[in-house]
Structures are given as structure tokens and as C-alpha cells.
Amino acid sequence: MTAPVNLISRDAAVVKAELLNSFGQLVEPLIEAAQTSTISPREIEQRVWVALVQVGRVLLTVLFAAVCRRETARAVHALGLQMFDVALRMDEDYVAKLKTTLGPVTFPWFAFRDSEGRTKVPARRLFPLYPVARVSEVLLEWEAALAADHPFRKAAEALLFFSHGAVDVEDTTIERHAVLVGRTIPREWLYRSVGEIREILRDRATLDTTTGRPFVYVSTDAHALRLFDDESWAAAWKMVNGVRMWCKDRVTNATIHLGGEFTTGDCHEVVRRLRLLSDSGHLPFNGDFGQGVVAHIGVLTDGSDWIAERIVTLYPGCLASLDPFHVVEHVADAARAALPKAQVKGVIQRARAALGVRSRRGRTFLRKGNRRLLHKTRRSGMDGSGQRLLDDVLIPLASTIKRGKKRFKRLLRYVRGNLYRMHYGTLRRRGAQIGSGAMESLHRTGSQTRLKRAGCRWRPQVAEAILNLRMLILSGRWNEYWNQPELAARVALGSAG
């Protein structure tokens, strides 16, 4: 079922009548088959979808042609002419062929020649993507959404399956389009808007029991992906640095994601992006979000030297915390190198007790409707600290070990150098979070679920584009982003850059 040229050029009443007639011709056989044959409900539903796609494709063709004709009429009138004064060109050179969510459509641009003999195609400005990606804006969104969650070949198969054969796009095309979109997403869209962050901190975030100010947390961490490098597909493991900003819900204690991003850049790039977050108002260094909302910033990270030197110092007066589970891992590694296997578990347990942390398991919740409330607050560990770890566990142990002394000395230097970030009991009493698990979980949901599949090899620009798409989804601003009126023009402009 296709739209003939005469259907495009007639007046609205005739077009409506012919569309209704065409729809009736598709519906009648379906009704007759349902009444007289042994057709199954499954086959009925499949045939209905095929019919709807056919009708939708014709209707879309007619409507696209109508807006092209409207734009042409405006351009003609702007020249002081009437439509009957110009000869509309609808030959093959001035016909658009576009893939849409309803399948391929073909419609005329309605080009014309002006008084100086120059050919004008004013309708092309309605489809700014056409020179770089001959797909509709909605299909481009579908491709980007699927590419963010699935391998490109699977995305192509999903489009074909769920459109009942109407959308047939190559996986290489989906990759190109996804990269086109992902690379043109401005960084600020990977975070909630400044106004929304301010509102969440004021109304929903957990509060400092001492000052009554809300807590907002930031962290950075890296994980490895196989990236194409040095003109070789013998892909090496390269570090991808992530940044996340979040707070905790004061009722449910759930993590509220405020934004995040990934970069293949080094530590200098991470610092630069944190400075941009401060400049844009998403995460001011002093915690002042405006309109009376002043938050305590918690910097929750591992013990990397560059983080302490470059990140913590960005936020004067911040609540800096070295993730205690990372500390326990260091203690466990040193204990395995220095002690018999039977004694290692006891050292780990004493280290956890000294730090005031427990195993990740064993949290007790009370479910009430669709909300999840903490059943009780554990008061244990309110005196945990790095100093207590030294005094109760590490220093007494250091005098008894006979092997692995170098490894144990490194552990002592590690703890002593980070004591200012290990006041866990004080932070807990104030109601602050002490662990960087939210950053670790972002690696899984934001990156690894999509990019760290078996056999995956990535070019850096493709990886960053897919990461941007995934972070846009996590920010909760996907629909807002795609509903921008000039988005297609910006994407097309970005492709030229």
C-alpha cells in the first residue's frame, strides 16, 4: 500500500476520503477472516499490526508531503508570488527518501524556480538530519535508545522484529547514528538540572544531624575497557574514569542519582570536569546551590594518591571519606602475605570492627507498600576510625609478623596517610554515608553492562558516545532532551564538526 502522487497533491477533503477508503480495504478482509475462517488470535494480531503499519506509512507520507508543501507556499508568498505562479518540481531529483519507524517513505520536496531561475527547496530545512542521516527524528531516537542497551546487531534485529518488518536498518548504520547522537550530547544533560538538584537536596536528601544541612556526595573511580589503540585491534585494557554525584533519600535511604559521566581522559581531565560542574552550578565547590540550599559535600573515594591530592582539595571543608571496604581489602591482602591462612579471617573481622563496618550482607528492611523503609538503625561501629584500626589491630600485629613485612609497612603508610579521611564514627553520628559503593555500582549500570561484554573491542569515540547515551538515560532527562525543538539541527551541525 503506497501513496500515489495524486493523493499528495489533492485538497484535504479528497485526501481524507481516499485514506479512509484505503483503510477500509485493509480492514474488510481482516473482519471477514475473523468471522468465517479458522484464523487464530495470534495471527489476527499479527495481521492487524501489518495493516496498521501500512496505513501509518501512507499517512506519514501524505503528512510529510503536506508540511513540505506548506513550507514551499510560505517561501513562494515571501517572494510576492502565488503558488499558481510557479511550477513545482516533483521529479526524482527533488524527492525525499526517508526511513521512519513505520518503514521507508517517499515524498516530494516541492522545489521551484525563482524569478532568476534558481531552484529553491525550502522544505529541506524541515529535515536538517537528511544530509547526514536519512532517518526520521523518532527513528533516530529509537536507534540511539537500543544502541545504548544492546549490541548494534541486536539493536537492528530488535527494530526489525518489533516494527513487524517495517524498519530494516543495518547494524553499522545504527552504530553511526548512535555515535552521531552520543557525541553531540552536551555534558550538562548527563546531570539533573541545577533547579531539580536544588529541590531534591532541599526536600528529599538526608540531613546532617548536627547542622541540619543536606548531604550531597561525589566520587570518582576508574575501570578498564578494551580500547582500540596505536592503530591496532589487539585491544589493550585502558582505564575509563567515571564521575558520579548522588544523595540519599531521607525516608527510604535509597540512592538518588543526580548525574554522572565517563571519560577516557586522565586525572587532569577528571579535575577539569569537576571544575566545570562547579562553574555550571551543578556541584559548587562551597556547596551553595542557591536559594538558601547549602549542602555538605561528601567526597567518597578509594585511596589513590591523585584523588587525595587533586580531588579532595577542590572542596574546602568537605566530608572526605576513604571507602572502608577498600581499607579492609588492603588489610586482607597484607594479612595473607604475612600470616598463616587460619589467622587471616580473624584479622579481617577485627579490622572491620575497628573501622565500624560490617559485611555488605545482613541489612534489614521493612517493606511497606511500594516503599522500602529501614527496619532499624544499627548503632554499632559509631566509634570506628583509622586510628582505632592502627591501635587495636595493625600496630600490635606488626610486632609479631615474620614474613611479608614490606607489604605490611606499605599498609601502615597507607592507613596513616589517610587518617584524616577515616573518621567513620564521627561521619556516621552525623548521618553521613562513608562508602563509595554508589560509584562502584555506576560502573556496572552505566558502563560495564553494555561495554564490557565478551569479545567487545571499542574505539574511544564510540565508547564515549555510548556512555553518554547511557548516562543521559540515567539522568532521567531522555524525553526532555529529545523533545527540544532544534535538536535535529544541532545533531546535524555536530556531525559537521
DSSP sequence for 93-154: GGEEEEEETTEEEEEE--BEE-TTS-EE-GGGGG-TTTTT--B-HHHHHHHHHHHHHS-HHH
What is the enclosing helix (H) or strand (E) of 247?
strand 232-248
**Separation of alpha carbons 354 and 388, rounded Å:** 6
Question: What secondary structure does DSSP assign to 297-337, as a single string?
Answer: EEEEE---HHIIIIIGGGSTT-EEEE-HHHHHHHHHHHHHH
Among residues 473, 376, 480, the alpha carbon closest in space to that of 178 is found at 473
Lowest mean per-residue pLDDT among 177-181, 226-230, 466-470: 226-230
In the predicted model, is pLDDT for residue 360 greater than 50? no
Q: Supply the pLDDT for residue 25.
A: 85
Mean pLDDT of the chain: 89
What is the enclosing helix (H) or strand (E) of 228?
strand 215-229
Q: What mean pLDDT comes out for the span 98-121?
A: 91
464 vs 305: which has the higher pLDDT = 464
Q: Which of 32-36, 69-73, 378-382 is most confident?
A: 69-73
Cell 531516537 found at: 141
> CB of 374 within 8 A of CB of 253?
yes
Phi-psi group of 90: left, alpha or beta (phi > 0 → left; psi -120 to 50 → alpha; rest → beta): alpha
**Separation of alpha carbons 415 and 301, rounded Å:** 14
In the predicted model, is pLDDT for residue 242 greater than 50? yes
Q: Supply the pLDDT for residue 2.
A: 53
What's CA 265's distance to the chain center, in Å? Answer: 18
Pull the grid cell for residue 85. 505562479
Pull the grid cell for residue 231. 592503530
In the predicted model, is pLDDT for residue 130 greater than 60? yes
Q: Supply the pLDDT for residue 359.
A: 53
In the predicted model, is pLDDT for residue 258 greater than 80? yes
Could you give the angle at which helices 460-474 and 137-149 cross, rounded to 10 degrees? 100
In the predicted model, is pLDDT for residue 5 greater than 90? no
Among residues 375, 372, 350, the alpha carbon closest in space to that of 363 is found at 375
5 vs 71: which has the higher pLDDT = 71
Helix, strand, or coil (residue 66): helix
Q: How does 244-253 read in b/e, with b if 16+ C-beta sit within 10 Å?
A: bbbbbeeeee
What's the length of the chain?
497
In the predicted model, is pLDDT for residue 297 greater than 80? yes
> CB of 301 within 8 A of CB of 323?
yes
In the predicted model, is pLDDT for residue 497 greater than 60? no
Residue 453 identity: R
> How do residues 178-205 score in pLDDT, each as one tens digit?
999 999 999 999 999 999 999 999 999 9
In the predicted model, is pLDDT for residue 267 greater than 80? yes
Q: What mean pLDDT comes out for the span 102-114?
A: 92
Q: Supply the pLDDT for residue 483.
A: 95
Write the CB contacts of 282 (distance below 8 Å, at least 6 apart in sequence): 188, 191, 194, 197, 245, 258, 259
Q: Supply the pLDDT for residue 381.
A: 61
Q: Supply the pLDDT for residue 364.
A: 46
CB atoms within 10 A of CB 304: 15
What's CA 366's distance to the chain center, in Å? Answer: 31
> How do residues 315-343 score in pLDDT, each as one tens digit?
999 999 999 999 999 999 999 999 998 99
